[in-house]
Structure 1
Amino acid sequence: MESGPLEESFGKIKRREFVKAAIQTAALPVFLDLPDPDSAYLKQSHINNPSRNMSPEKSVIGHYGSWANSLLPKTPPLSFRNEKHTDLKKWQAEALAKTKELIAAPERIKTPTVTVEKKYIFDGLEIEELSWDLGYGRPTKAVFMKPQGASKPLPAVLGLHDHAGMKYFGLRKIVKTSEDQHPILKEHQESDYGGKPWANELAKLGYAVLVHDTFAFGSRRVHFDDVEGLNWGYVDTTGKHDQEPEKTENINTYNAWSSEHEHVMSKSLFCAGTTWPGVFLSEDQVALDILSSRKDVDPERIGCGGLSGGGLRTVYLGGLDPRIKCAVCVGFMTTWTDLILNRSFNHTWMTYTPLLPQFLDFPEILGLRVPLPTLVQNNNQDQLYTLPEMKKADEVLKEVYKKAKAPEKYAAKFYDGPHKFDLEMQKNAFEWFGKWLS
Structure 2
Amino acid sequence: MRPFHLLLVLPLTLPAQQVPEESFLGSLAPVIRSIQEERGFPMAYENRKGISVDEWRRRGRAEVQRCLSFSPKPVPLDVRVHSVVERDGYEVRKISFAGSGHYRVPAYLLVPKKSGQKLPAVVALHDHGGWFFHGKEKLVKLEDEHASLTAFREQYYGGRTYADELARRGFVVVVPDAFYWGERRLTYNQPPRELASRLARLDPASVEYVRAYNSWARERTTELNTWLSFSGTSWMGIVNHDDRRSVDVLASLPEVDPKRIGCLGLSGGGYRSTYLAGMEPRIRAAVITGWMTSLPTTLDISYSVHSALFDAFGVHQNLDHSDIGSLAAPDCALFVQNCARDRLFTRAGMESAAEKIRAVYADLKRPERYRSKFYDVPHQFNVAMQEEAFAWLEQWLAKH
Q: Which TM-score applies when normalising by structure 2?
A: 0.91
Amino acid at match of 1:113: D
Report what 2:75 is aligned to.
110
Does the C-alpha gap of structure 1 residues 260 and 335 become closer, same or farther in structure 2, counting only changes over 3 Å?
same
Matched, 1:330 2:289: yes
SS of 2:196's partner is coil
Alignment of 1:90-109 (within 5 A): 90-107=55-72, 109=74
How is 1:137-176 mapped onto 2 (pairs within 5 angstroms)? 139-176=104-141
Distance in 1, matches of 2:98 and 2:65, equals 24
Measure how far apart 1:268 and its partner are: 0.5
1:269 and 2:234 correspond:
no
Task: Flag the 1:324–1:246 CA change in 2: closer, same or farther, 3 A.
Answer: farther
Unaligned 5+ runs, structure 2: none
Deviation at 1:332, TM superposition (A): 0.5
Secondary structure in 2 aligned to 1:201?
helix
Q: 2:343 aligns with which of 374, 383, 390?
A: 383
SS of 2:46 mapped into structure 1: coil
After TM superposition, list the pairs within 5 Å mapping 1:180-199 onto structure 2: 180-199=144-163
2:392 maps to 1:432: yes
- Report the CA distance shift for 1:356/1:343 in structure 2 as closer, same or farther (over 3 A): farther
**Post-superposition offset of 1:435:** 1.0
Aligned to 1:314: 273
CA distance, structure 2, for counterparts of residue 265 and residue 426 of structure 1 = 32
Q: Secondary structure at the match of 1:72?
A: helix
Q: Which residue of 2 aligns with 1:8?
A: none
* 1:311-366 deviation per Cα after TM superposition (whole angstroms, max 9, x unaligned): 11111111111111111111011111122332783215434322322211111111
Shift in Å, 1:135 = 5.2
Q: Secondary structure at the match of 2:341?
A: coil
CA apart distance, 1:240: 6.9
C-alpha distance after superposition, 1:125-172 (max 9, x if no partner): 212111234457764321111223443121000100111111110100
Greater mean alpha carbon deviation, residues 359-368 or residues 145-154? 145-154
2:371 pairs with 411, 418, 436, which one? 411
CA distance in 1, matches of 2:232, 2:126: 26
Q: Is the 8 A contact 1:61 1:341 kept in 2?
A: no
Alignment match, 1:205: 169
Verify the 8 A CA contact 2:298 2:349 in the aligned structure 1: no
The alpha-carbon deviation at position 116 of structure 1 amounts to: 0.9
Specify the alignment match of 2:239 in structure 1.
Answer: 280
Quick one: which amino acid aligns to residue 249 of structure 1? E
1:301 alignment partner AA: R
Q: 1:303: how far off?
A: 0.4
**CA–CA distance in structure 2, aligned partners of residues 317 and 183 of structure 1:** 31
> What secondary structure does 1:165 align onto?
coil
Alpha-carbon distance between aligned partners in 1 of 2:305 and 2:175, rounded to the nearest angstrom: 26
Contact 2:86-2:92 at 8 Å conserved across structures: yes
Unaligned runs of 5+ residues in structure 1 are 1-15, 28-33
Amino acid at match of 1:329: I
Q: Identify if the C-alpha distance between structure 1 residues 155 and 49 changes in structure 2 by more than 3 Å, giving closer, same or farther.
A: closer
Q: Kindly tell me: are residues 111 and 226 of structure 1, through their superposed partners in 2, closer, same or farther at Cα, counting changes over 3 Å? A: farther
**TM-score, normalised via structure 1 length:** 0.84
Question: Is the CA contact (8 Å cut-off) linking 1:378 and 1:412 kept in structure 2?
Answer: yes
Deviates more, 1:77-86 or 1:360-369: 77-86
C-alpha displacement at 1:83, in angstroms? Answer: 5.9
The structure-2 alpha-carbon separation of the partners of 1:343 and 1:168, relative to structure 1 and needing over 3 Å to count, comes to farther
Give the aligned partner of residue 309 of structure 2.
350
CA distance in 1 between counterparts of 2:261 and 2:307 reads 27
SS where residue 127 of structure 1 aligns? strand
Cα offset for 1:222? 1.3
Whether 2:37 is the aligned partner of 1:69: answer no
Percent of aligned positions that are identical = 32
SS of structure 2 residue aligned to 1:301: strand
Opposite residue 53 of structure 1, the aligned amino acid is V
Is 1:78 aligned with 2:43? yes
Inter-CA distance 85–384: structure 2 relative to 1 (3 Å threshold): farther
Equivalences, count: 396
Give 1:434's aligned amino acid: E
What SS does the aligned partner of 1:413 have?
Answer: strand
Residues 187-218 of structure 1: per-residue CA shift (max 9 Å, x gap): 12211111110111111111000101110111
Pick aligned residue for 1:127 from 92, 95, 99: 92
